[in-house]
Amino acid sequence: MKRFAVVLSSLLLASSFVQAQVAVSPQLDGVMRKTASGAEEAYIPMIERSSHAANLLQLKNGDLLCVWFSGVWEGQSGVSIVYSRLSAGSHQWTLPKVINRQEGASLQNPVVFEAPDGDIWVIHTTQPANEGQKNAKVLVVKSHDQGKTWSSPQVMFDKPGAFVRNPIMIRPDGSWLLPMYFTPSEGITDGAETNYSVMKISKDHGATWSDCAVPSSNGYVQPSVVHQSEYIAFFRSRFADSIYRSTSADGCTWTAPKATSLPNNNASVQSYGLKDGRIAMVFNNTRASVVNGKPTTGPRKPLTVALSADGGETWGPMRDLELGRNVKPDDPSYAHLMDDAPGRDEYSYPTVLQMRDGSIVAAYTYRRQTIKVVRFSESWIGQAPAVKH
């Protein structure tokens, strides 16, 4: 009887996984295809029922890597760090492969970095399964062969609640800057005002790190940093009101974050400094409502790309990457589409970069089932203005 139950459970899981694959897209094959809008897009193949929190990196050899976490659901046992590759000149993303997986732990929020010596670093969080984020720590795995094989994970930061979301950048003096944040609370609402951001600096290629505080950053997390004439960081707001902005002359002494004109729904954003001096930002173009005086988390749609020509002071043009399903809150199916389960109406946790050929690539969580990749020109952003939300 016990064996029958195990077999039945496996069959049910396999069935739900197949149904999830069908629900996403008929083309879950990782092939970059032209769209009617003039962009290209691909849905990376699924190897688990849930996927989230992508980050992109173009390697020195021209290959494009995408890393994310995948498993049953965020926070549960066995959620693993995986990656896929788009080789230079190819239109086909590879079948995802596992970089790190640990029973009893949930691995999350990978960021990827190619060090000057050619090693690839994947830095990610780990937390005990089903216990929230308050005891998270940060691990690193490395590849010496362009991502073909990976080292065993090593603890990088063990202070409880340590979290990453955005990648290392190299400063002009050769030192490294890693944006980080700390989550003393279990979740992203109650107690989340205790969350805060720091910038880690290493002057010895990641062997040791020092902290640079971000003043008054309680509630402002997941800093995404660009460098132009100064360093500019953009923050997710736990208060689900606006994207916040801070600046620094040297990457270590920061101003207190202040609200920008862009909304935030207590979900991740990512920015990138373009070759022409503008900043690209991908974000959920919505904020949350306030219930009984307390902000709530907002829907993770639409997903929009915006440009700024003045360091993030003002934004435009903008174009929507995803509008989501056209289902209203009074529709009987609405509640199901917002459930904490794969298939929900979510387009979030974007990553964005500019390729060496000038094109822009964004990748993001698509319905918590797979990672979708979109490639477009800078001029494409201004060809169809974002819908006012």
For the cut 50, the answer to whether the pLDDT of residue 15 exceeds it is: no
Q: Lowest mean pLDDT: which of 27-41, 218-232, 322-336, 346-360?
A: 322-336
Alpha-carbon distances of 200 from 168, 196, 301, rounded to whole Å = 9, 13, 31
> Which of 372, 280, 377, 277 has its CA nearest to residue 324?
372
pLDDT value of position 18: 44
For residue 67, the SS3 value is: strand
For the cut 50, the answer to whether the pLDDT of residue 19 exceeds it is: no
Q: Where are the alpha helices (DSSP H) in the chain?
A: 2-24, 334-337
For the cut 90, the answer to whether the pLDDT of residue 188 exceeds it is: no
Average pLDDT over residues 119-136: 96
- The one-letter amino acid code at 216 reads S
Q: In this structure, what are the phi and psi dihedrals at residue 12, rounded to the nearest 5 degrees?
A: -65, -40
Quote the percentage of the chain above a pLDDT of 70: 92
What is the DSSP code string of 125-176?
EEEETTS-STT-EEEEEEESSTTSS-PPPEEEE-STTEE--S--EE-TTS-E
pLDDT value of position 26: 58
For the cut 90, the answer to whether the pLDDT of residue 82 exceeds it is: yes
User: How far is residue 120's CA from residue 286's CA, in Å, rounded to a whole number?
Assistant: 35
Q: Lowest mean pLDDT: which of 65-69, 238-242, 292-296, 363-367?
A: 292-296
Confidence of residue 53 (pLDDT cuts 50, 70, 90): very high
Q: What is the pLDDT of residues 209-262, one digit of tens each?
A: 999 999 999 999 999 999 999 999 999 999 999 999 999 999 999 999 999 999
Confidence of residue 387 (pLDDT cuts 50, 70, 90): confident
Q: In this structure, what are the phi and psi dihedrals at residue 16, rounded to the nearest 5 degrees?
A: -65, -35
User: How far is residue 319's CA from residue 270's CA, in Å, rounded to a whole number?
Assistant: 15
CA contacts within 13 A on the Cβ side of 32: 21
pLDDT, mean over the chain: 91
The CATH code that applies to domain 26-383 is 2.120.10.10
Domain range list for the chain: 26-383
Tell me the pTM: 0.92
Q: In this structure, what are the phi and psi dihedrals at residue 15, rounded to the nearest 5 degrees?
A: -65, -45
Q: Lowest mean pLDDT: which of 70-84, 176-190, 199-213?
A: 176-190
pLDDT value of position 181: 98
Confidence of residue 345 (pLDDT cuts 50, 70, 90): very high
For residue 192, the SS3 value is: helix
For residue 7, the SS3 value is: helix
pLDDT value of position 13: 41
Q: What is the pLDDT of residues 247-288, one digit of tens each?
A: 999 999 999 999 999 999 999 999 999 999 999 999 999 998
For the cut 60, the answer to whether the pLDDT of residue 195 exceeds it is: yes
For residue 20, the SS3 value is: helix
Is 26 or 152 the better-scoring residue by pLDDT? 152
Check: CB of residue 116 under 8 Å from CB of residue 142: no
For residue 275, the SS3 value is: coil
pLDDT value of position 331: 77
Q: Cis peptide leading into 317, omega within 30 of 0?
A: yes
